[in-house]
Structure 1
């Protein structure tokens, strides 16, 4: 019987596994990577959605992406959080009249200003900024800086969502506490102390207007040593802030 016994042949599992890997369809691998990319985008999109709710309480003091960069690069920054009630009303009014005059009436996007910018672009004219305070706030909190069409596409719906969830008073409070006012200087309190040696609640009309017109380009504008152009702009903002009236009612 022993001579009739057939040898037992073990299956070549390694060869079968390699054969299976070789036979895997490229389309299936591509679909898997696409799915992973979609899921990664969904996770990234959910970050600002969740953080916006976390930033609702007044005791939460968010930091901006620029502040995170300063931390990562060990350059540090100066930011002293203050509630909106501890900021001079004229400072709040000046920023609104300089940055977003329709802040109290729009829903994150100033459609009139945005349409005007689009019309100018279509006509081949130089474009100007149409960013609202909610748009600038979500950019500072969640996105990167620099001119980018992709960033704008992301920024618009985020601004609408942010304005829908967050009260106007809180939006202004966050914006004034994360806005960049110079190299490594963030927030109105740090800016007021740095440039004028006083707390933000003691700013006068002229100082408030000079700080407001610094915001579009804090890298080269210095409110303590304003250029002639800055002084002219500050005079315009000073007059607008004095006549703001109902335009600023949502934060008073």
Structure 2
């Protein structure tokens, strides 16, 4: 059975992928780690760069005996998997870049990284978690998945919030996009307030073997807002392997 690796984003956690683990579990060995400082790994020392996160995930794969795999990353996790691809793409069968981009300063974001850092210090981790999680849904706090998503975000340690924002701000991976060799799916919700269309378009336009899926009436959390559509798109892309 092939492995499908799911890498969550900033203030996320592995349990955000429960619907995908259930859907794909009969076809793939689903491996969804909690990044250091987030989710069940809130207690681990924080990491301060996207390359450090990439090295950590690759290390976890090897420690779990995983060499070849499909790879999906969401948001900051999409940045991490781009760095993983830079290091390990000979072992990656298919790549999904979901709600993400190649420029870490996040042009067009609902607020700048600097504003997020300042507000996180002023408001505290819990309030920051709920405020930012609300921006991930088209219907904000009214989305049925908001409360569970916000509860996961609240697990992020204050140090992890600052370190994660610093890591994103300091990173860019656009120089590597033309060198990505795995066939890639770029998946984006048309109401995404975090990663604007120009980020998704750059990935699609620049990665040599790329496909594009734009989901209408969704924001930054398509896998929670429309899980059936998300699973259908990702599952169809992965099933085409070998064509």
Give the TM-score normalised by the residue count of structure 1. Answer: 0.29
Higher helix proportion (structure 1 or 2):
1
Scaled by the length of structure 2, the TM-score of the pair is: 0.30
